[in-house]
Structure 1
Amino acid sequence: MSHRELYCEVCEGVAPFEAPPCVDGHDTDCPELICTGCGAAVLIATFTLPVTRLAGRRRHQPIHRHAA
C-alpha cells in the first residue's frame, strides 16, 4: 500500500491516505485512496489531453478597426 498526505474534508485537516489493494491492476498508482483517520474515500482523476491538428496552427491577429 502506498501512503500520501492529503487534505481530508471529513477530518478537516491533512491526514495520511493509503491506496487499498487494487483489483484493477494499478498497484501503487491506484486512483482510489482511503483516509486512515476516518475512512473517507477519494478518487484521484488523471487524464491526458490529445494533440489535435489545430495545436500547431498560428492564431490570427485581431483586426484593429478605427472609427471614421
Structure 2
Amino acid sequence: MSDRELYCDTCEGVVLFEAPPCADGHGADCPELVCTGCGAAVLIATFAFRAPRLGRRRGTTRPPHRRAA
C-alpha cells in the first residue's frame, strides 16, 4: 500500500490517504485512494491532451469576399 497526505472534504483537513489493494494491477500507482480518517474514497486521474494545431483551417484558401459600396 502507498500513502499520501491530501485534503479531505469530509474531514475538512489534510489527512493520510492510502491506496487499497488494487485488483486492476496498478500496484502503488493505483488512482483510487481512501481517507484513513473517515473512509472517503477519491479517484486521482490524469489526462493527456494533444496540443491544438495552429495551422490554417480548411476552406480558407480563397480570398475574402468583397462587397461593392
Which residue pairs with 1:5 in the alignment? 5
- Paired with 1:26 and 1:51, the residues of 2 have a C-alpha distance of 28
Identity %: 70
Letter of the 2:30 counterpart: C
Give the structure with the larger helix fraction.
1
Superposed displacement of residue 37, structure 1: 0.5
Gaps of 5+ in 2: 57-69
Superposed displacement of residue 49, structure 1: 1.3
Which residue pairs with 1:16 in the alignment? 16
> Which 4+ residue blocks in structure 1 deviate beyond 2 angstroms?
none
1:1-68 alignment runs, 5 A limit: 1-51=1-51, 54=53, 57=55
TM-score normalised to structure 1 length? 0.74
